[in-house]
Chain A
Amino acid sequence: MEGDIAQLGQFIGAGLGAIGSGLAAIGVGNVAANYLAGALRNPSAAASQTATLFIGLAFAEALGIFSFLVALLLMFAV
Protein backbone atom coordinates (compact mmCIF):
# COMPACT_ATOMS: atom_id res chain seq x y z
CA MET A 1 0.00 0.00 0.00
CA GLU A 2 2.15 2.82 -1.26
CA GLY A 3 0.95 6.13 -2.63
CA ASP A 4 0.14 9.34 -0.89
CA ILE A 5 -2.87 11.26 0.27
CA ALA A 6 -3.01 13.28 -2.98
CA GLN A 7 -3.39 10.12 -5.01
CA LEU A 8 -6.15 8.98 -2.67
CA GLY A 9 -7.90 12.28 -3.29
CA GLN A 10 -7.51 11.86 -7.06
CA PHE A 11 -9.10 8.45 -7.08
CA ILE A 12 -11.95 9.45 -4.77
CA GLY A 13 -12.55 12.55 -6.87
CA ALA A 14 -12.59 10.54 -10.08
CA GLY A 15 -15.12 8.16 -8.53
CA LEU A 16 -17.29 11.10 -7.50
CA GLY A 17 -17.01 12.40 -11.04
CA ALA A 18 -18.41 9.09 -12.28
CA ILE A 19 -21.60 9.84 -10.28
CA GLY A 20 -22.10 12.80 -12.61
CA SER A 21 -22.04 10.49 -15.62
CA GLY A 22 -24.72 8.36 -13.97
CA LEU A 23 -26.90 11.40 -13.32
CA ALA A 24 -26.56 12.43 -16.95
CA ALA A 25 -27.81 8.95 -17.85
CA ILE A 26 -31.03 9.75 -15.92
CA GLY A 27 -31.33 12.97 -17.91
CA VAL A 28 -30.83 11.24 -21.25
CA GLY A 29 -33.38 8.58 -20.30
CA ASN A 30 -35.82 11.31 -19.33
CA VAL A 31 -35.49 13.02 -22.70
CA ALA A 32 -35.97 9.77 -24.62
CA ALA A 33 -38.88 8.64 -22.44
CA ASN A 34 -40.75 11.90 -22.83
CA TYR A 35 -40.15 11.88 -26.57
CA LEU A 36 -41.52 8.36 -26.82
CA ALA A 37 -44.53 9.22 -24.67
CA GLY A 38 -45.30 12.19 -26.89
CA ALA A 39 -44.65 10.23 -30.07
CA LEU A 40 -47.07 7.49 -29.08
CA ARG A 41 -49.79 10.03 -28.34
CA ASN A 42 -49.36 11.77 -31.66
CA PRO A 43 -47.33 9.61 -34.06
CA SER A 44 -47.91 11.91 -37.03
CA ALA A 45 -46.03 14.75 -35.34
CA ALA A 46 -43.18 12.53 -34.13
CA ALA A 47 -41.09 12.47 -37.29
CA SER A 48 -40.72 16.25 -37.38
CA GLN A 49 -39.36 16.30 -33.84
CA THR A 50 -36.48 13.84 -34.12
CA ALA A 51 -34.01 16.70 -34.61
CA THR A 52 -35.22 18.25 -31.36
CA LEU A 53 -34.85 14.85 -29.70
CA PHE A 54 -31.23 14.57 -30.74
CA ILE A 55 -30.45 18.11 -29.65
CA GLY A 56 -32.00 17.42 -26.27
CA LEU A 57 -30.05 14.18 -25.97
CA ALA A 58 -26.85 15.99 -26.89
CA PHE A 59 -27.36 18.72 -24.31
CA ALA A 60 -28.19 16.23 -21.57
CA GLU A 61 -25.28 14.02 -22.53
CA ALA A 62 -22.76 16.86 -22.71
CA LEU A 63 -22.95 17.50 -18.98
CA GLY A 64 -22.28 13.84 -18.27
CA ILE A 65 -19.32 14.02 -20.62
CA PHE A 66 -18.05 17.04 -18.64
CA SER A 67 -18.01 15.04 -15.43
CA PHE A 68 -16.30 12.18 -17.27
CA LEU A 69 -13.73 14.70 -18.42
CA VAL A 70 -13.21 15.91 -14.86
CA ALA A 71 -12.67 12.31 -13.79
CA LEU A 72 -10.13 11.80 -16.58
CA LEU A 73 -8.32 15.02 -15.67
CA LEU A 74 -8.15 13.96 -12.03
CA MET A 75 -6.79 10.55 -12.96
CA PHE A 76 -4.19 11.56 -15.51
CA ALA A 77 -3.58 15.28 -15.57
CA VAL A 78 -3.40 16.41 -11.94
Chain B
Amino acid sequence: MTPVNMGTTDVATEAHGEGTGLVFHPLDQFIVKPLFGEGPVHWYTITNATLWLALAALSIVLLFVVGSRGRAIVPSRSQSVGELFYGFIYKMVEDVTGHDGVKYFPYIMTIFLFIFFSNFLGLLPMSFSPTSHIATTAVLGFGVFIVVTLIGFVKNGIGFLGMFWLSDAPLALRPIIAIIEVISYFVRPVSHSIRLAGNITAGHAMIKVFAGFAAIAAVSPISVLAISAVYGLEVLVAAIQAYVFTILTCIYLKDALHPAH
Protein backbone atom coordinates (compact mmCIF):
# COMPACT_ATOMS: atom_id res chain seq x y z
CA MET B 1 0.00 0.00 0.00
CA THR B 2 1.07 3.57 -0.54
CA PRO B 3 2.16 5.55 2.49
CA VAL B 4 -0.20 8.17 3.84
CA ASN B 5 0.84 11.51 2.48
CA MET B 6 -1.13 14.36 3.93
CA GLY B 7 -0.68 16.44 0.81
CA THR B 8 -1.96 14.17 -1.92
CA THR B 9 -5.46 13.17 -2.85
CA ASP B 10 -4.89 9.45 -3.37
CA VAL B 11 -4.65 8.59 0.31
CA ALA B 12 -7.85 6.72 0.77
CA THR B 13 -8.71 5.79 -2.78
CA GLU B 14 -5.80 3.34 -2.83
CA ALA B 15 -7.25 1.52 0.15
CA HIS B 16 -10.67 0.97 -1.37
CA GLY B 17 -9.99 -2.42 -2.92
CA GLU B 18 -12.60 -4.30 -4.87
CA GLY B 19 -15.66 -5.76 -3.23
CA THR B 20 -15.92 -3.37 -0.29
CA GLY B 21 -19.50 -2.25 0.22
CA LEU B 22 -18.72 1.36 0.99
CA VAL B 23 -19.50 3.87 -1.75
CA PHE B 24 -17.02 6.35 -0.27
CA HIS B 25 -14.19 5.89 2.10
CA PRO B 26 -14.76 6.98 5.74
CA LEU B 27 -11.43 8.80 5.81
CA ASP B 28 -11.94 10.71 2.55
CA GLN B 29 -13.23 13.66 4.55
CA PHE B 30 -9.80 14.32 6.05
CA ILE B 31 -8.00 14.79 2.73
CA VAL B 32 -6.32 18.17 2.44
CA LYS B 33 -6.88 19.44 -1.09
CA PRO B 34 -6.38 22.79 -2.80
CA LEU B 35 -9.38 25.05 -2.62
CA PHE B 36 -8.97 26.37 -6.15
CA GLY B 37 -8.19 23.92 -8.93
CA GLU B 38 -6.05 20.82 -8.70
CA GLY B 39 -2.41 20.18 -8.18
CA PRO B 40 0.15 19.52 -5.49
CA VAL B 41 -0.16 21.11 -2.06
CA HIS B 42 2.73 23.39 -1.15
CA TRP B 43 3.09 25.24 2.11
CA TYR B 44 1.57 28.37 0.55
CA THR B 45 -1.33 26.61 -1.23
CA ILE B 46 -4.76 27.70 -0.02
CA THR B 47 -6.46 24.44 0.95
CA ASN B 48 -9.73 23.49 2.59
CA ALA B 49 -7.79 23.36 5.88
CA THR B 50 -6.82 27.01 5.38
CA LEU B 51 -10.44 27.91 4.71
CA TRP B 52 -11.80 26.29 7.85
CA LEU B 53 -8.98 27.58 10.04
CA ALA B 54 -9.78 31.05 8.75
CA LEU B 55 -13.50 30.55 9.36
CA ALA B 56 -12.77 29.49 12.95
CA ALA B 57 -10.71 32.64 13.50
CA LEU B 58 -13.37 34.74 11.80
CA SER B 59 -16.20 33.40 13.94
CA ILE B 60 -14.21 34.08 17.11
CA VAL B 61 -13.66 37.65 15.94
CA LEU B 62 -17.35 37.95 15.08
CA LEU B 63 -18.42 36.78 18.53
CA PHE B 64 -15.90 38.66 20.64
CA VAL B 65 -15.08 41.82 18.70
CA VAL B 66 -18.23 42.53 16.74
CA GLY B 67 -20.64 40.82 19.13
CA SER B 68 -19.33 42.61 22.22
CA ARG B 69 -18.80 45.91 20.41
CA GLY B 70 -21.42 47.72 22.51
CA ARG B 71 -19.69 46.92 25.84
CA ALA B 72 -23.11 47.37 27.40
CA ILE B 73 -23.75 47.17 31.13
CA VAL B 74 -26.79 45.05 30.29
CA PRO B 75 -25.23 42.75 27.70
CA SER B 76 -26.83 41.86 24.39
CA ARG B 77 -27.29 38.21 23.49
CA SER B 78 -23.96 37.79 21.68
CA GLN B 79 -22.14 39.70 24.41
CA SER B 80 -23.68 37.40 27.03
CA VAL B 81 -22.32 34.36 25.18
CA GLY B 82 -18.90 35.98 25.01
CA GLU B 83 -19.00 36.79 28.71
CA LEU B 84 -20.00 33.20 29.51
CA PHE B 85 -16.92 31.89 27.67
CA TYR B 86 -14.70 34.49 29.31
CA GLY B 87 -15.97 33.81 32.81
CA PHE B 88 -15.78 30.05 32.39
CA ILE B 89 -12.16 30.01 31.23
CA TYR B 90 -11.12 32.73 33.68
CA LYS B 91 -12.49 30.72 36.59
CA MET B 92 -10.79 27.56 35.31
CA VAL B 93 -7.40 29.28 35.05
CA GLU B 94 -7.78 30.86 38.48
CA ASP B 95 -8.90 27.62 40.14
CA VAL B 96 -6.17 25.44 38.68
CA THR B 97 -3.11 27.69 38.46
CA GLY B 98 -3.83 30.17 41.26
CA HIS B 99 -3.48 33.93 41.18
CA ASP B 100 -0.05 34.05 39.55
CA GLY B 101 -1.31 32.01 36.60
CA VAL B 102 -3.97 34.56 35.70
CA LYS B 103 -1.59 36.60 33.56
CA TYR B 104 -1.35 33.66 31.14
CA PHE B 105 -5.13 33.74 30.77
CA PRO B 106 -5.09 35.27 27.23
CA TYR B 107 -2.98 32.38 25.89
CA ILE B 108 -5.26 29.74 27.42
CA MET B 109 -8.40 31.57 26.29
CA THR B 110 -7.02 31.70 22.73
CA ILE B 111 -6.27 27.97 22.73
CA PHE B 112 -9.71 27.10 24.09
CA LEU B 113 -11.63 29.28 21.63
CA PHE B 114 -9.63 28.08 18.65
CA ILE B 115 -10.16 24.39 19.46
CA PHE B 116 -13.80 24.92 20.43
CA PHE B 117 -14.72 26.76 17.24
CA SER B 118 -12.68 24.43 14.99
CA ASN B 119 -14.39 21.41 16.54
CA PHE B 120 -17.86 22.84 16.13
CA LEU B 121 -17.30 24.16 12.60
CA GLY B 122 -15.99 20.70 11.73
CA LEU B 123 -19.36 19.25 12.74
CA LEU B 124 -21.14 21.09 9.92
CA PRO B 125 -21.99 18.77 7.04
CA MET B 126 -19.49 18.92 4.13
CA SER B 127 -17.03 20.82 6.27
CA PHE B 128 -13.47 20.00 7.26
CA SER B 129 -12.22 19.90 10.82
CA PRO B 130 -8.67 21.21 11.14
CA THR B 131 -8.34 19.70 14.63
CA SER B 132 -8.64 16.20 13.14
CA HIS B 133 -5.11 16.56 11.78
CA ILE B 134 -2.20 15.85 14.07
CA ALA B 135 -0.34 18.60 12.21
CA THR B 136 -2.72 21.18 13.69
CA THR B 137 -2.94 19.77 17.19
CA ALA B 138 0.80 19.06 17.40
CA VAL B 139 1.50 22.75 16.85
CA LEU B 140 -0.83 23.55 19.74
CA GLY B 141 0.45 20.72 21.96
CA PHE B 142 4.16 21.31 21.38
CA GLY B 143 3.57 25.06 21.60
CA VAL B 144 2.10 24.58 25.07
CA PHE B 145 4.99 22.26 25.98
CA ILE B 146 7.67 24.75 24.91
CA VAL B 147 5.93 27.74 26.49
CA VAL B 148 5.34 25.92 29.77
CA THR B 149 8.93 24.64 29.95
CA LEU B 150 10.28 28.13 29.26
CA ILE B 151 8.00 29.63 31.93
CA GLY B 152 9.16 26.95 34.37
CA PHE B 153 12.85 27.74 33.83
CA VAL B 154 12.34 31.52 33.80
CA LYS B 155 10.26 31.51 37.01
CA ASN B 156 12.18 28.89 39.00
CA GLY B 157 15.60 28.83 37.38
CA ILE B 158 17.37 25.52 37.77
CA GLY B 159 14.99 24.68 40.61
CA PHE B 160 12.47 23.69 37.97
CA LEU B 161 14.38 20.42 37.67
CA GLY B 162 13.28 19.69 41.25
CA MET B 163 9.98 18.68 39.68
CA PHE B 164 11.71 15.45 38.61
CA TRP B 165 13.56 14.89 41.88
CA LEU B 166 10.90 14.01 44.43
CA SER B 167 12.34 14.87 47.84
CA ASP B 168 9.67 12.95 49.74
CA ALA B 169 10.51 9.64 48.06
CA PRO B 170 13.07 7.19 49.53
CA LEU B 171 16.57 8.13 48.40
CA ALA B 172 17.24 4.82 46.67
CA LEU B 173 14.13 5.17 44.55
CA ARG B 174 14.66 8.80 43.53
CA PRO B 175 16.84 8.21 40.43
CA ILE B 176 14.36 5.66 39.07
CA ILE B 177 11.41 7.96 39.76
CA ALA B 178 13.34 10.82 38.16
CA ILE B 179 13.79 8.81 34.95
CA ILE B 180 10.10 7.93 34.87
CA GLU B 181 9.11 11.55 35.56
CA VAL B 182 11.36 12.82 32.75
CA ILE B 183 9.88 10.31 30.29
CA SER B 184 6.35 11.21 31.32
CA TYR B 185 7.20 14.90 30.97
CA PHE B 186 8.35 14.44 27.38
CA VAL B 187 5.39 12.23 26.46
CA ARG B 188 3.01 15.00 27.56
CA PRO B 189 2.93 17.00 24.29
CA VAL B 190 2.51 13.81 22.26
CA SER B 191 -0.48 12.55 24.24
CA HIS B 192 -1.81 16.10 24.54
CA SER B 193 -2.02 16.53 20.77
CA ILE B 194 -2.92 12.98 19.76
CA ARG B 195 -5.82 12.91 22.24
CA LEU B 196 -7.56 15.80 20.51
CA ALA B 197 -6.81 14.71 16.94
CA GLY B 198 -7.69 11.07 17.64
CA ASN B 199 -11.00 11.88 19.27
CA ILE B 200 -12.13 14.12 16.43
CA THR B 201 -10.88 11.72 13.74
CA ALA B 202 -12.53 8.71 15.37
CA GLY B 203 -15.87 10.47 15.76
CA HIS B 204 -16.02 11.81 12.23
CA ALA B 205 -14.91 8.49 10.75
CA MET B 206 -17.62 6.72 12.76
CA ILE B 207 -20.31 9.04 11.38
CA LYS B 208 -19.09 8.32 7.85
CA VAL B 209 -19.04 4.56 8.45
CA PHE B 210 -22.70 4.65 9.49
CA ALA B 211 -23.43 6.90 6.52
CA GLY B 212 -21.93 4.20 4.29
CA PHE B 213 -24.39 1.65 5.70
CA ALA B 214 -27.29 3.99 4.82
CA ALA B 215 -26.87 2.98 1.16
CA ILE B 216 -28.15 -0.52 1.99
CA ALA B 217 -31.97 -0.27 2.01
CA ALA B 218 -32.58 -2.90 4.70
CA VAL B 219 -30.51 -1.23 7.40
CA SER B 220 -30.87 2.40 6.36
CA PRO B 221 -33.41 3.42 9.08
CA ILE B 222 -31.14 2.02 11.81
CA SER B 223 -28.21 3.69 10.15
CA VAL B 224 -29.91 7.10 10.09
CA LEU B 225 -30.81 6.72 13.79
CA ALA B 226 -27.24 5.73 14.56
CA ILE B 227 -25.89 8.75 12.69
CA SER B 228 -28.14 11.05 14.75
CA ALA B 229 -27.03 9.41 17.99
CA VAL B 230 -23.34 9.53 17.10
CA TYR B 231 -23.71 13.14 15.96
CA GLY B 232 -25.17 14.03 19.35
CA LEU B 233 -22.22 12.32 20.99
CA GLU B 234 -19.83 14.22 18.74
CA VAL B 235 -21.33 17.57 19.79
CA LEU B 236 -20.54 16.55 23.36
CA VAL B 237 -17.04 15.35 22.44
CA ALA B 238 -16.26 18.57 20.57
CA ALA B 239 -16.93 20.62 23.70
CA ILE B 240 -15.33 18.15 26.13
CA GLN B 241 -12.12 17.81 24.14
CA ALA B 242 -11.71 21.58 23.93
CA TYR B 243 -12.26 21.69 27.70
CA VAL B 244 -9.84 18.82 28.36
CA PHE B 245 -7.09 20.32 26.19
CA THR B 246 -7.49 23.63 28.01
CA ILE B 247 -7.56 22.22 31.53
CA LEU B 248 -4.50 20.06 30.82
CA THR B 249 -2.74 23.21 29.61
CA CYS B 250 -3.70 24.82 32.94
CA ILE B 251 -2.34 21.82 34.87
CA TYR B 252 0.97 21.87 32.98
CA LEU B 253 1.18 25.59 33.63
CA LYS B 254 0.55 25.01 37.33
CA ASP B 255 3.38 22.44 37.37
CA ALA B 256 5.69 25.01 35.80
CA LEU B 257 4.73 27.79 38.23
CA HIS B 258 4.83 25.61 41.35
CA PRO B 259 7.15 22.69 40.52
CA ALA B 260 7.55 21.51 44.14
CA HIS B 261 4.09 19.91 44.04
* Contact surface of A with B, Cβ cutoff 8 Å: 7, 10, 51, 54-55, 57-58, 61-62, 65-66, 68-69, 72-73, 75-78
Other 5 A-B pairs with CB < 8 A, given A58-B195, A73-B4: A10-B1, A54-B244, A58-B241, A62-B195, A76-B15
B188-226 contact mask (Cβ, 8 Å, vs A): 1 or 0: 000100110011011000000000000000000000000
Q: Are B15 and A65 in contact (CB under 8 A)?
A: no
- A65-B202, A77-B3 known; A54+B195 contact, CB < 8 A: no
Q: Are B240 and A54 in contact (CB under 8 A)?
A: yes
Which A residues are in CB contact (< 8 Å) with B95? Answer: 51
Q: How far is the CB of B218 from chain A (nearest CB, A)?
A: 25
Which B residues are in CB contact (< 8 Å) with A73? Answer: 4
Which B residues are in CB contact (< 8 Å) with A51? Answer: 92, 95-96, 247
- A54-B247, A55-B251, A78-B1 known; A69+B11 contact, CB < 8 A: no
* Contact surface of B with A, Cβ cutoff 8 Å: 1, 3-4, 11-12, 15, 27, 92, 95-96, 191, 194-195, 198-199, 201-202, 240-241, 243-244, 247-248, 251
Q: How far is the CB of A40 from chain B (nearest CB, A)?
A: 22
The CA of A31 and the CA of B248, in the complex, are separated in Å by: 17
Determine the main DSSP class of B at the interface with A: helix
Q: Are A62 and B194 in contact (CB under 8 A)?
A: yes
- A55-B247, A78-B1 known; A61+B194 contact, CB < 8 A: no
Q: How far is the CB of B168 from chain A (nearest CB, A)?
A: 22
Nearest chain B residue, comparing its CB with the CB of A67: B198
The CA of A72 and the CA of B11, in the complex, are separated in Å by: 12
Nearest chain A residue, comparing its CB with the CB of B25: A76
Which B residues are in CB contact (< 8 Å) with A76? Answer: 1, 4, 11-12, 15, 27
Q: Are B198 and A69 in contact (CB under 8 A)?
A: yes
Q: How far is the CB of B60 from chain A (nearest CB, A)?
A: 23
Q: Are B244 and A66 in contact (CB under 8 A)?
A: no
The CA of A69 and the CA of B191, in the complex, are separated in Å by: 12
Q: 26 A–B contact pairs at CB < 8 A?
A: A7-B1, A51-B96, A54-B244, A54-B247, A55-B244, A55-B247, A55-B248, A55-B251, A57-B244, A61-B199, A62-B191, A62-B194, A65-B198, A65-B199, A66-B191, A66-B194, A66-B198, A68-B198, A68-B202, A69-B198, A73-B4, A75-B15, A76-B1, A76-B4, A76-B15, A77-B4
Which B residues are in CB contact (< 8 Å) with A72? Answer: 27, 201
Q: Are A65 and B195 in contact (CB under 8 A)?
A: yes
Q: Are B202 and A54 in contact (CB under 8 A)?
A: no
Q: How far is the CB of A18 from chain B (nearest CB, A)?
A: 11
